[in-house]
Amino acid sequence: MIPRSVVATGLGAIGPWGADIASLSAALATGRPLAVPIDDGVAALVPDVDLSPWLPAASARRLGRPSRWAVAAARIALDHAGVTSFEGRRVAVVLATSFGAVHFTEKLVHQILVEGPESAQPFYFSECVANAASAQVALALAATGANVTVTQREAGPLVALARGTAEVAEGRADLALVGAADEMSPLLHGVLERFRAIARESPRPFDARRSGALAGEGGSIVVLEPEADAVARQAGWRVRIAGTAGAFDPSASESDWGRGDEPLARGVVRALARAGRSMDGVDRIVSGASGSLRGDRLEARVLSRARGGARAPAVFVPKAVTGEYGGGFLAAAFLAATGAPFGKVPAVSEIEPGLDVLVHDGAPLPAPRAVLASALAAGGAGAWAVLEHA
Amino acid sequence: MPGADPKGTLDPPIVVTGLGAVTAFGWGVAPLWEGLRRGAPAIGPIARFDGTKHRTHLSAEVPLRDAPAAQRRASWADRFAVAASREAMGQAGLRGPVPEAGVYFGSSTGGMLESEAFYVSLLAGGARRARPSLLVAQQLNGPGDAVARDAGATGPVETVSSACSSGSMAIGAALRALRRGDVDVAIAGGSDSLCQLTYAGFNALRAVDERPCRPFRKDRLGLSIGEGAGALVLESLAHARARGARPIAILAGEAATCDAHHMTAPHPEGRGAAEAIERALEDGGVLRDEIDFVNAHGTGTPLNDLAEARAMRHIFGSRAAELPVTSTKALIGHLLGSAGAVEAVATVLSLARREVHPMPALGDADEEIGLRLVLGAPLRLPRAAAALSTNLAFGGANAALVFRAAEAA
């Protein structure tokens, strides 16, 4: 079959900003990190938000935090999309996670290794599997299409977006719930610090003084459906997923970024080509740059190489606000496609010499024709999506 | 069946040109096939970690002493994955870097075994003295990334972590990518190593048998946990022919569904599993009557096997009583995120060699199952045109793969 054009018609996002999109937009407009204390440092953690409108307390108690956020975000996204019933539609769920339900995993490992294997609680086990959140979304919503969990670190949300888009475009699903969910814990935060992945102060993507990322958490979901269906039912919020692509840099180590900007740039060009565009047709880049030393440098080089001689679009760096992990980046990319204002990130003031990247200065911008979302993962994977406000 | 296409002309054929495996039978496809044919389980006392405090004490472990040299910091899951992929690439005639390749791999725990060692060091010495090097390869994306790095692949890399369906879903993702033309060659599979988390976790669910598992038999009490990796090289028939590679089988179709019924129990009627099978057949343009055998998920848990049998009876009707069914897990245990990959390898081998491997003839028949199980000795197939491989996972995530014999290419 000829692939169908696919649009997002709803967005739900739970994160350090709370549980509503307006708060996320407001935070992105300030450019300031949503950081709160965790152990000796800071992280962008989900506050104690009331999820009961979307997830009854009795149900929430049976779920890990990523599952709670994913189920609530899915219901918020469906509300936003105006989808009140699946009416026999086949619904796929594709979620990304980097670490899964960290708290439960830590508790289970502690039970097994310290208290003894017989102490292991089955509840922790079933909720600490990587696909717990996607399965809980399917259970909560009776979604019987493909149920897929993608684990590709920082590139995971865009890999999931590509997979979910394909499910709808190729007719295997009538609707897809796609997104990401992750949580942070003091132990995981400490481990990331040991790997020097965490910023010593405010995250400064692309800045010469950057020292790492702001760790984050949360859950974000978009509703995908065929554009023809969305138009027919007059869905009010539509963002077209015009093209996606992935690539890999084999020069990367297991836990860091490599130097292979050339193969990754080919991935960017492929995503643009599938959208029928070149870099000249893109007005914003929503970059996955987080403040990582090697990751940001590679990201700048990839984007520069992919751009060739084209003008440099403004680059948004939402992870400086939402933190790394948890789906804030994905939600920000969709908001950027609708023309939502992004502020200057105050901590970014001195771009690393030699990096050919135009980090957004906060000045008002005209409505974008298209947005390129770009994410490079530690370990070598890269993924891109071209989004258009339809 | 609406939409069926017996000639398989719906899409350009995607063929399997290489196979690789690491299992409790050893490092390679040859020891796997030899062990499967022999039909004696490679399931024995657990040695990977102190099993004395666990409720059960058996596992199907890869013989680590035979491991090829590898990077110092690689997890066992990564090493299994790389070894299986190298073997598959070698059979496919892919020497040296394969930059045009995409990698689609499944894993349910990645380097959890090594993470547990980190946690032990953390408990012993505190956060500042814990050994983070143990976590370098902890990530779930570790096996797939390791394969891509080793192969010099620059195409897309996608890691699927959908529990016990991860490997077959990853192979399904590769099929889609090849059909779309995203990649010319795909390395697809899965890898997982034993770890205490899954071992104790399944025991906590009372899902592990104290004896070697007995899929579909009346006295089955649970699964046996194994480890290992499986890998397939996939490419379009045209691509294979252009470079002189010999197709071993055709990957005709795939499908994934969700029960949306229960986190740890399958739908009792196997509703989601049946739908996955039906859709995979439709996707591959394969008629139900063309399926000559089934490599079932067949974990040995009471609920899974009954639900799966009901799904097969729903799809194949009266023919289900005659259709040969085997479970590779009876011999090498449940490989979790790599189960679907190794079972795909076994399915392709059976198709190519016209022979279905047996399960041990243990226990009594379960009348509720109603399937023709291959027990005790390999079954020679009068016809080996097409085969089905199924996986049913935690969270109700089902996946099915349909293969055709290479002669149809």
pLDDT tens-digit map of A129-144: 999 999 999 999 999 9
Same domain, A290 and A177: no
- What is this structure's pTM? 0.97
**How many independent structural domains does chain B possess?**
1
Task: With a cut of 60, say whether residue A18 has pLDDT above it.
Answer: yes
Residues 171-190 on A with a CB inside 8 Å of B are 172, 187, 190
A272 with A132, same domain: the answer is no
For B161, the closest of A127, A151, A191 (CB atoms) is A151
**Cα A357 to Cα A203: distance, rounded to the nearest angstrom:** 17
The 3-class SS string of A74-128 reads HHHHHHHHCCCCCCCCCEEEEEECCCCCHHHHHHHHHHHHHHCHHHCCHHHHHHH
Query: Worst-scoring range by mean pLDDT, B136-145, B179-188, B294-303, B338-347?
Result: B136-145
Q: What span, in angstroms and rounded, lies between the C-alpha atoms of A102 and A216?
A: 13
Cα distances from A167 to residues A5, A151, B187, in angstroms, run 11, 18, 21
Q: Where residue B64 falls among pLDDT bands split at 50, 70, 90? A: very high
Number of domains chain A contains: 2
Q: What is the pLDDT of residue B408?
A: 84
Contact A351, A357 (CB under 8 A): yes
In this predicted structure, what is the pLDDT of residue B267? 97
Which residue is closest to A134 within chain B, CA to CA?
Answer: B395
- Residues B248, B329 contacting (CB under 8 angstroms): no
Chain-chain contact of A250 with B53 (C-beta, under 8 angstroms): no
Whether A251 contacts B145, CB under 8 Å: no
Q: Residue B168's closest chain A neighbor by CA?
A: A148
Selected for mutation to probe chain A from B78, B108, B263, B391 (highest A CB count within 10 Å) is B263
- Indicate the average pLDDT of chain A: 96
Residue B8, min C-alpha distance to chain A (Å):
15
Asked if residue A94 is part of any domain, the answer here is: yes
Give yes or no for a contact between A275 and A242, defined as CB atoms under 8 angstroms apart. Answer: yes
Same domain, A41 and A139: yes
Q: Is the pLDDT of residue B7 over 90?
A: no
**φ/ψ of residue A175, rounded to 5:** -150, 145
Q: Does B81 touch chain A (CB under 8 A)?
A: no
Reported as a pLDDT band with limits 50, 70 and 90, residue B144 is: very high
Q: Is the pLDDT of residue B134 over 90?
A: no
Q: What is the pLDDT of residues B39-63, one digit of tens each?
A: 999 999 999 999 999 999 999 999 9
> For residue A238, what are the CA distances in angstroms to A7, A15, B82?
6, 22, 42
Distances (CA, A) of B114 to A2, B124, B194, B197: 45, 15, 10, 11
Residues B218-251 as b/e (b if ≥16 CB within 10 A, e otherwise) read eebbbbbbbbbbbbbbbbbbebbeeeebebbbbb
CATH number at residue B325: 3.40.47.10
According to the model, what pLDDT value does residue A354 have?
96
Tell me which residue of A111, A112, A129, A107 sits closest to B50, measured CA to CA.
Answer: A112
| Separation of alpha carbons A335 and A176, rounded Å | 19
Domain match, A68 and A143 both = yes
B322, pLDDT greater than 70 = yes
Q: Which residues of B are catalytic?
A: 164, 297, 334
Co-location of A33 and A139 in the same domain: yes
H or E element that contains B397: strand B397-405
User: How does pLDDT run across A347-367, given as a tens digit for each residue?
Assistant: 999 999 999 999 999 999 999
**For residue A185, what are the domain limits?**
6-232
CATH number at residue A99: 3.40.47.10
- Are A146 and A48 in a shared domain? yes
Please check the confidence at residue B4 and state whether its pLDDT lies above 70.
no
**The pLDDT of residue B1:** 36
Q: A174 and A118 share a domain?
A: yes
Q: How confident is the model at residue B120 (pLDDT cuts 50, 70, 90)?
A: confident
Last residue of a domain, one of A201, A232, A263: A232
Burial of B2 from C-beta contacts in 10 A (0-12 / 13-18 / 19+): exposed
Query: What is the pLDDT, as a whole number, of residue B12?
Result: 83
CA A356 vs CA A2, A299, A305, A368: distances in Å: 38, 10, 9, 21
Average pLDDT on A228-256 reads 97
pLDDT at B122 (0 to 100):
82
How high is the pLDDT of residue B10? 55
Contacts of B120 in chain A (CB under 8 A): 113
Give the residue-averaged pLDDT of B382-405: 97
At residue B409, the pLDDT reads 81
Same domain, A223 and A256: no
Q: What is the mean pLDDT of chain B?
A: 94
Domain termination site, one of A183, A205, A232: A232
Structure confidence by residue, pLDDT tens digits, B145-163: 999 999 999 999 999 999 9
Amino acid identity of B151? A
C-alpha distance across the termini of chain B, in Å: 22
Residue type, B93: G
Say which residues have a Cβ less than 8 Å from residue B106's Cβ, sequence separation at least 6.
B159, B160, B161, B162, B165, B166, B167, B168, B169, B170, B189, B190, B191, B337, B338, B340, B341
pLDDT score, position A242: 98
Give CA–CA dist B10/A353, Å, rounded: 53
* pLDDT tens-digit map of A331-344: 999 999 999 999 99
d(C-alpha A205, C-alpha A360), whole Å: 11
What pLDDT digit, counting tens, does each position of A317-330 carry? Answer: 999 999 999 999 99
Phi then psi for residue B221, to 5 deg, are -130, 0
**pLDDT confidence of B121, banded at 50, 70, 90?**
confident
Residues A384 and A315 in one domain: yes
Give the DSSP per-residue string, B158-182.
EEE--GGGHHHHHHHHHHHHHHHTS
Of B49, B157, B165, B195, which to mutate for an interface test with A (greatest number of A Cβ within 10 Å)?
A: B157
Q: Indicate whether B317 pLDDT > 80.
A: yes
Cβ-in-10-Å burial (0-12, 13-18, 19+) of B300 comes to: buried
Domain boundary, last residue among A174, A206, A232: A232
Indicate if A90 and A210 belong to the same structural domain. yes
Q: Is residue A156 part of a domain?
A: yes
For the question of an ipTM over 0.90, the answer is yes
Partner residue facing A146 (CB), from B154, B257, B262: B257
Residue A257 lies in a domain: yes
Q: Is residue A265 very low, low, confident or very high in pLDDT (cuts 50, 70, 90)?
A: very high
* pLDDT for res B310: 98
- The residue range of the domain holding B123 is 14-408
CB atoms within 10 A of CB B10: 17
Q: Dihedral through CA B117, CA B119, CA B125, CA B130, nearest 10? A: 80
Q: Contact, A167 vs A176, CB < 8 A?
A: yes
Selection from A238, A99, A222 nearest residue A158 by Cα: A222
- pLDDT score, position B3: 37
* Among B141, B152, B169, beta carbon nearest to A379: B141
The neighbouring-strand residues paired with B59 are: B44
A311 and A205 in a common domain: no
Nearest to B32 by CA among B84, B67, B74: B84
